[in-house]
Amino acid sequence: MSLKRALKIVFDRVPDDTIDLFTVFPGLRRFFERRKLHAVLRTIGDLVFAFIILAGLFGPQDPKRNCILYLSWGLWWPTIVLTWFFVGRMWCGFCPFPGAGRLAQSLGLSLNLKVPRFIQKNSPYLSLFLLCLILWIEESTGIKESPRGTALLIMAILSGATITAMLFPKQAWCRYLCPMGRLIGVGSTLSILEFRPDFEKCKTCKTFACKRGVGGRTGCPVYLGAFNIRNNLDCLICGHCLSLCDKDSPRLNLRSPFKELLLNKGRFITCSYIIPFLMGSQLVRFYEDSPFVFSWLRHGNGLETMLIYSGLLVIGFLYVFVIIKLGAIFFGITEDELFGKFSPMVPILVPMAFAGELAYRLDYAVRYAPDFFPTVGRQFHVDFLLNWTFTVPYLTFPIMNIFILASSIAACNYVLYRLAVQEFEGMVPFWRAALVALLVLYTGFSYMTFMIPVA
C-alpha cells in the first residue's frame, strides 16, 4: 500500500472507504491469530505490572527514588492515550488487569453467574462513576507523588477485574464496568483503525462461533462477537475471534479518523456523558496547575482539597454540558428520520477531548522525563545513571500544547463542516454553522486560558 493511498484513506472525504490491513499485511493477521504470541506479550505486561505494584508498595516512598511513578503516570498513561488514535482499543488486547481473573476462571474459581440486568443496563453510568472516582483520587489526593498510592490504585482496578471474573464468566468487567476501557472506547471513536467483520459473510453464518465459541474454545471475552461490532466502543481488538471464524470474516481496517464520528453523530449515551465529563475534568486539571488557581486550593488540607475538587469537577462537567446543549441549539438539527435523536456537538468535540487528555498526559511525561534515569539510579544504586539527564527547554510546553490544541480545533471544525455541509446538506444554514464554529473556538480558548500559563 503506498503512502499516498494510506493518506487518502485517512483524510478521505468518503467515510466508508477503508483498507483491510489483514489483506495488505498478512503477517498482521498471523500475529493476531497466534494466541501464544499474545500470551507472551501479556505475560511481559503482567510482569511489569507486578513490578510496579511490588516496588510501589514496598519500595522507597520518596518520589525521587521510585521510578514506578514515572512508569505509571509518565509512560503508561500517555502511551494509552496515544493508542486511542493510532490503534483504537488494541491496548485492551494486552492489558494485564484481566490476567488474574482469567487465571481464577481457568482454576474453576468462578461462580459463572449471569451478569445482572442492572449492571448491563447501567453500565455507562457505573463505569463513568468509577472514572470520576479515579480522576478525583488522581487529582485531589496527590497520588501521583505517592508510589504506594499509585500501586494501591492499580491494585483496586485489578481487584475489580478479578472479583468480577470470579462472579461472572469471561470479562464482564471489561464489557460493563472498567472505567479505563470506557474511556479508551470513547477515545477510540477517533481512531484510524477499526476491527470489523465482513457483514456479507456473517449474513450466511450458522455457527456464530466468534460469540459462542466452538470445539471447546470459548467465544468473545466481552460477549460481543465480531458480527456485532458497529463501532469502536466495546470490542477489545484482542483478535480472539479470528481463529474461531471459519469464514475469514473479521478485518482490521485503516479508515478515516472521522468516519465513526460522522456515522454515529453522538447517539451513544456513553459518549454523551463521558465527553462532557472528560473535558470538564481536563479544564479543572489544567486550572488546578495554573497560576490562576486559588491559593487555598493549593494549600488546603486533604479533606478541604478533596471537597473543593469534587465541586470543581461538577462545575467543569456542567460547563461543558451547557456548551454541548448550546451547540445543539445553534446547529438546529438534533433529530433525524433515519437514526432518531443525536447530539451534534459530541462528535464535533471528540477531537478536543482527545487533545486535552493527550496534552495533559504528555505534559507530565515530558516534564518528568529528565529525572527518570537518575531516579532509577537512586532506586537501584546504579551510579552512572545519576548523570543520564537532560534539560527540556521552557518553550517546549507552550509549543506542544498550542500545537495539539490548534490541531484539535481544526479537526473539530472539519467534523462540523462534514456534518453541516455533507451529512445534512442544505439543512444547516451558514450562520448556524458559524455560531457552532465560534463555540468550538470559545471552548478551545477555555482550554488555552489554563493550559498555556501552566507551561
Q: Given the rule CB under 6 A, which residues bind ligand SF4? A: 92, 95, 97-98, 161, 173-174, 178, 180-181, 195, 197, 201-202, 205, 207-210, 220-222, 224-227, 229, 235-241, 245, 247, 249-250
Partner residues linked to 50 by β-bridges: none
Secondary structure class of 90 (helix, strand, coil)? helix
- CA gap 220, 236 in Å, rounded: 9
Torsion sign over Cα 376, 378, 383, 386 = positive
CA distances from 20 to 251, 261, 333 (A): 6, 20, 34
Partner residues linked to 217 by β-bridges: 214
- CA gap 165, 115 in Å, rounded: 11
Cβ of residue 279: shortest distance to ligand SF4, in angstroms? 21
**CB closer to ligand SF4 out of 130 and 190:** 130
**CB closer to ligand SF4 out of 174 and 415:** 174
- Which single residue is written with the C-alpha cell 480472539? 240
**CB closer to ligand SF4 out of 13 and 203:** 203
Whether residue 201 contacts residue 249, with contact meaning beta carbons closer than 8 Å, is answered with yes
Whether residue 154 contacts residue 49, with contact meaning beta carbons closer than 8 Å, is answered with yes
- CA gap 253, 262 in Å, rounded: 17
Cβ of residue 152: shortest distance to ligand SF4, in angstroms? 17
**CB closer to ligand SF4 out of 174 and 324:** 174
List of residues 6+ apart from 380 with CB closer than 8 A: none
Cβ of residue 247: shortest distance to ligand SF4, in angstroms? 4
Cβ of residue 396: shortest distance to ligand SF4, in angstroms? 30
Residue 98, by phi and psi: left (phi above 0), alpha (psi -120 to 50) or beta?
A: alpha
- CA gap 298, 290 in Å, rounded: 10
Cβ of residue 92: shortest distance to ligand SF4, in angstroms? 3
**CB closer to ligand SF4 out of 174 and 233:** 174
Cβ of residue 235: shortest distance to ligand SF4, in angstroms? 3
Cβ of residue 246: shortest distance to ligand SF4, in angstroms? 7
**CB closer to ligand SF4 out of 77 and 195:** 195
Q: How far apart are the first and last CA of the chain?
A: 40
Cβ of residue 227: shortest distance to ligand SF4, in angstroms? 4
H or E element that contains 271 = helix 269-289
Partner residues linked to 253 by β-bridges: 20, 194
Neighbours of 58 (CB within 10 A): 11
- Side by side, the strands of the sheet bearing 193-196 are 19-20, 251-254, 193-196
Cβ of residue 271: shortest distance to ligand SF4, in angstroms? 16
**CB closer to ligand SF4 out of 244 and 437:** 244
List of residues 6+ apart from 79 with CB closer than 8 A: none
**CB closer to ligand SF4 out of 238 and 283:** 238
Residue nearest to ligand SF4 (CB): 181
Closest CA to 229 of 28, 89, 97, 363: 89
List of residues 6+ apart from 64 with CB closer than 8 A: 371, 375, 378
**CB closer to ligand SF4 out of 95 and 437:** 95
**CB closer to ligand SF4 out of 245 and 404:** 245
Cβ of residue 419: shortest distance to ligand SF4, in angstroms? 28
Whether residue 189 contacts residue 144, with contact meaning beta carbons closer than 8 Å, is answered with no
**CB closer to ligand SF4 out of 75 and 224:** 224
Cβ of residue 199: shortest distance to ligand SF4, in angstroms? 8
Torsion sign over Cα 299, 303, 304, 308 = positive
